Amino acid sequence: MAKKPFLTDVKTLRKRALEHTEQGAVTPGHRAKRDVVIKLLDDALATELVCVLRYRRHHFMASGINA
């Protein structure tokens, strides 16, 4: 695999980012299976929501300096 130079030119980066926005996030060159990706993202989101709810519960349950 040949190494490509890293782009630091902001105008070039923006131009490349906007070239195919109409195609959406999943382009024809995307090799992953769509249903697997959606399942992984759903699982990650569910984990984050559980962590936020747990954090909020601990926040409201804690009281005093030693909590």
Q: Which runs of consecutive H residues, i.e. helices, occur in the chain?
A: 10-18, 34-61
Q: What percent of the chain has pLDDT over 70?
A: 85
pLDDT bin (cut points 50, 70, 90) of residue 7 is low
Cα 23 to Cα 29, 41, 50, 65, distances in angstroms: 11, 20, 33, 54
Cα 57 to Cα 6, 10, 65, 67, distances in angstroms: 45, 43, 17, 13
Q: Over the stretch 8-26, which tens digit does the pLDDT of each residue have?
A: 788 888 888 888 777 777 6
Q: Which residue did the predictor score with more confidence, 34 or 42?
A: 42
Region class of 51: left (phi > 0), else alpha (psi between -120 and 50), else beta: alpha
**53 pLDDT above the threshold of 90:** yes
Global pTM reads 0.51
